Amino acid sequence: MNRPPDHPEIPPSRIGVLLVNLGTPDAPTPAAVRRYLAEFLSDRRVVEIPPLVWQPILRGIILNTRPRKSAHAYAQVWTDEGAPLAAITAAQARGLQQRLGDAVQVGWAMRYGNPAMASQLDLMKAQGCERVLVAPLYPQYSAATTASALDALGDWLEGQRWLPAIRTLPAYHDDPAHIAALRTDLSRQLSALAFRPEVLLLSFHGMPERTLHLGDPYHCQCRKTARLLGEAMAGDWPGLRIEVAFQSRFGKAKWLAPYTDVVLAEEAGRGTKRLAVAAPGFAADCLETREELAIRGREQFLAAGGREFAALDCLNDSETGMEMLETLVRRELSGWL
């Protein structure tokens, strides 16, 4: 049957892969940070306080005090390509596109901020993607990260008449490809240092402790990543003590412990002179790694008596990191690609 002359063009059927990370403001300014925080901290997955209680606190206090401080922190790590998280996630998408070839359309999005997940899913649909793998780049599952990204996917699906087939990338905290990539890349970076660390501190993003008791597996998965990584590195790094801590706590509630800033000060106070810190819960460097760890973490350790400090890069779009990402994505595309 011939297509009617007024029928829209139909693109050829394709497979889409959408890499998703947390988000970032559009600029290192108080106004941009305020917009970003308003969206981020209004997510019920992130802040589980009832809105009637939380929103007056958020709108009346936090959004009037925190943006200026956060904007200053972002300004210290902002690049010519924008926020590190956005620039690196874009580079990961480009690298994965090269590895997968033209049969797949690879895109990237942020759960909060731009480019938004809905806009990128709209684009993939317009490009003919009838099968889409949504890949949240969170090695460890948390309701505040992975589940929130899938909530946004569900919101988009609810508004569509025609739905593509959907797959999602599961957490990969203990995946052999992930552990091997961390081992290889961290060993490379440690070997390149001008000093040999006594301690490798693995710093994961913190979560309120109550999330653990409510059933969130995040804490357990962070601990498993650390254990497997420690076992994998033990042969090549005898004598290197590996410790675990949690960073970025906010507010007065009890968060997952021990706290990274406290551990840094305590290690120096106990006589540790040479320390390196890595963040195996982040797929890409961001404000939390480049400002909180690399800048403030260094200041905290040295002020407490430490002498040598290094903040190691995340896997980012390194060759090792991209090999791992390709392995994970190809596995989830099995039967499609």
pTM of the model: 0.95
The DSSP code for 216 is -
Cβ burial of 239 (10 Å; 0-12, 13-18, 19+) is exposed
Question: Which residue matches tokens 């992975």?
Answer: 146
- 176-311 matches 14-172+322-332 in CATH topology: yes
pLDDT over 70 for what percent of the chain?
97
pLDDT at 204: 98
Which CATH fold would you assign to the domain 176-311? Rossmann fold (3.40.50)
Backbone angles phi, psi at 290, to 5 degrees: -85, -25
pLDDT at 1: 56
What digits encode the pLDDT tens for the residues 275-315?
A: 999 999 999 999 999 999 999 999 999 999 999 999 999 99
What digits encode the pLDDT tens for the residues 181-191?
A: 999 999 999 99
Residue 3's pLDDT band (cuts 50, 70, 90)? low
* Helix 176-192 / helix 218-233 crossing angle, nearest 10 deg: 60
Return all residues near 27 (Cβ < 8 A) that are at least 6 apart: none
The DSSP bridge partners found for residue 116 are 110
pLDDT at 10: 67
User: How far is 301 from 163, CA to CA, in rounded Å?
Assistant: 52
Which CATH fold would you assign to the domain 14-172+322-332? Rossmann fold (3.40.50)
**Where along the chain do its domains lie?**
14-172+322-332, 176-311
User: How far is 184 from 252, CA to CA, in rounded Å?
Assistant: 38
pLDDT at 12: 79
